[in-house]
Amino acid sequence: MSDILLPPPPADLLTNASLFLDFDGTLVEIAATPDAVSVSDVLRQLLRDLQARMDGRVAIVSGRSVAEIAALLDPVALTIAGSHGLEIATADGSVETPERTAGIDTALATLQDFASSRPGVLVEDKPFGVGLHYRLAPDQEADARALAAALADEHGLHLQLGKMVAELRLPGGDKGSALKALMAEPGRVATRPVFMGDDVTDEAAFAAACELGGAGILIGPARHTHALYRLDDVPAALGWLRRCAEALA
């Protein structure tokens, strides 16, 4: 990992590359609640342009479910790795998913009970996990994380901490494993991976990209990271992607 000041990515980084994009905090601003985000027509067109000019080698890798991302981007069809890599849907519509366990449902009920008496704490039911959001109640962070950790131990779930969220999900995959699986596909195997993300949940993908000869691009303030490059914020990320799309035309 590096904690030095990182340079911006070079303009030719996407030449002969496969592009992997986090969603919240990378392509769209993080909203107060998960359902408050919106996707502009400008972003949809940018993704279409990148997809066409990179011969289909563009994928979304998100903590959101495949269904959520597909609905938000509709009608743009991309390969999507959702639920932190636990489910992968290719652009042709085929989907690989695990089986939801009873432990997730039990944890969901416990977290809903916890949130019911704490205004601002939100519970997000996901196909293969549950998120406990406290962005609107930051004073609840310690209690939220402690409860999530206890439930993870009790039900054999993976605890994933992110920006103002504690998420419980099925073990066995992460954004790094999703990137590696997609890079093994014939259309990508001869290219180098480039992953863009903002959160600590993206570190596994940064590391995997570097391991395969590519690079990670951190979006947001400098911090300890596996990424090799950094851009300041979502507008900077979108601006760089637009310049890359124009250069690839």
Residue 128's domain comprises 102-169
Residue holding tokens 């000019």?
53
Q: What is the pLDDT of residue 1?
A: 67
CATH number (domain holding residue 120): 3.30.70.1020
pLDDT at residue 234 greater than cutoff 90? yes
Q: What is the pLDDT of residue 191?
A: 98
- Identify whether 3 is part of a domain: no
**For residues 154 and 109, is the Cβ–Cβ distance under 8 A?**
no
- Identify whether 6 is part of a domain: no
CATH number (domain holding residue 230): 3.40.50.1000
Are residues 90 and 198 located together in one domain of the fold?
Answer: yes
Are residues 193 and 156 located together in one domain of the fold?
Answer: no
- Identify whether 74 is part of a domain: yes
**Mean pLDDT of the residues in the chain:** 93
Q: What is the pLDDT of residue 115?
A: 96
Backbone dihedral angles phi then psi of residue 122, each to the nearest 5 degrees = -120, 140
Q: What is the pLDDT of residue 3?
A: 60
pLDDT at residue 45 greater than cutoff 70? yes
- Identify whether 11 is part of a domain: no
Q: What is the pLDDT of residue 2?
A: 59
Q: CA-to-CA distance for 183 and 193, rounded, in angstroms? A: 7
pLDDT at residue 214 greater than cutoff 70? yes
For 76-88, what is each residue's pLDDT tens digit?
999 999 998 889 9
* DSSP H helical ranges for the chain: 41-53, 66-73, 102-116, 141-155, 175-183, 203-211, 234-248
**For residues 135 and 32, is the Cβ–Cβ distance under 8 A?**
yes
Are residues 93 and 25 located together in one domain of the fold?
Answer: yes
Are residues 160 and 230 located together in one domain of the fold?
Answer: no
Are residues 196 and 211 located together in one domain of the fold?
Answer: yes
Are residues 122 and 52 located together in one domain of the fold?
Answer: no
Are residues 193 and 153 located together in one domain of the fold?
Answer: no
How are beta strands 79-82 and 58-61 bridged, if at all?
Answer: parallel
Cα Rg of the chain, angstroms = 18
Boundary of a domain, candidates 143, 169, 195? 169
Q: Is 201 helix (H, G, I), strand (E, B) or coil?
A: helix
For 153-190, what is each residue's pLDDT tens digit?
999 998 988 889 999 988 878 999 999 999 999 999 99
Residue bearing the bigger pLDDT, 215 or 249:
215
- Identify whether 227 is part of a domain: yes
- Identify whether 131 is part of a domain: yes
| β-pair partners for 225 | 2
Q: Looking at the 3D structure of the chain, how many domains does it have?
A: 2
| Least reliable range by pLDDT among 31-35, 103-107, 161-165 | 31-35
Backbone dihedral angles phi then psi of residue 239, each to the nearest 5 degrees = -65, -40
Instruction: Catalogue the active-site residues.
Output: 22
Boundary of a domain, candidates 169, 185, 218? 169
